[in-house]
Structure 1
Amino acid sequence: MNDTFSVKLPGGETWTPAFVSSLDEEKCIGCGRCFRVCSRGVLQLVGVSEDGALIPLDDDDEEEYQKRVMTIAHPLLCIGCTACAKICPKKCYRHAPAQI
């Protein structure tokens, strides 16, 4: 059986949580909006070096990276609310329902 997990809400509606499955780092502008809206600690902002390596942000070494991007640091903490995707100006996120 390959069904998705759903919850019956008061009023009879059904809600199916959609968990973060990927983030397009090429589209990401590192604005941090998604980071601020995620209350679960799923995301982490990192720097990208000239050679494309992801490096932890350090306020003292901002010259080391070409740009900043968001990463999915702890996907298992996601609760499926999709707030990150709703606030992302570049539509970087993909979500998928949990399979049971």
Structure 2
Amino acid sequence: MNVITGLTRGGEEYTPEFVMEIKQSNCIGCGRCFKVCPRDVFELIDREDADIKEADDYEDEYGDDYEDGYGDDDEFSDDTSMVMSIQNGMDCIGCGSCARICPKKCFTHAPQGVEA
């Protein structure tokens, strides 16, 4: 299978790598990728709307539910916890700006195949 290639202004061929996935469990919701993306590929969503395993979703080695001893009555609000999500993945141009700016290395990129 052939992959999509492009040309630089200098005439050199390159293979763009398009965003495939965001590892939301690593995402801190800083919005840097959103700001540098020229094609509006990303959106910031509530962490609770994302499909992320939280610490209390795990069981310990004895089969007991994980308990941190603090419960849900702490003084912090989870309402403002946000993560990045791919909104328009087909609009990605493969520039890689998001991966270069991400402080947590949340992105997976790959070349895109072309059907002949």
Q: TM class, shorter-chain normalised?
A: 0.7 to 0.9
Runs of 4+ more than 6 Å apart:
none
Partner of residue 48, structure 1: 47
Q: Structure 1 residues 41, 12: closer, same or farther in 2, change over 3 A?
A: closer
5+ residue gaps, structure 1: 55-62
5+ residue gaps, structure 2: 51-76
- Of structures 1 and 2, the one scoring higher in RCO (CA 8 A, sep 6+) is 2
What number of residue pairs does the alignment pair up?
88
The residue type paired with residue 99 of structure 1 is G
Larger radius of gyration: 2
The residue type paired with residue 70 of structure 1 is M
Q: Deviations over 1:29-71 (max 9, x none)?
A: 000000000121100001123xxx34xxxxxxxx562621000
1:11 CA drift (Å): 4.1
What is the DSSP-based 3-state SS (H/G/I as helix, E as strand, rest coil) of the residue aligned with 1:85?
Answer: helix
Partner of residue 29, structure 1: 28
User: What is the TM-score when the length of structure 2 is the normalising length?
Assistant: 0.68
> Is 1:97 equivalent to 2:97 in the alignment?
no
Identity %: 43
1:12 CA drift (Å): 4.8
**Structure holding more strand per residue:** 1
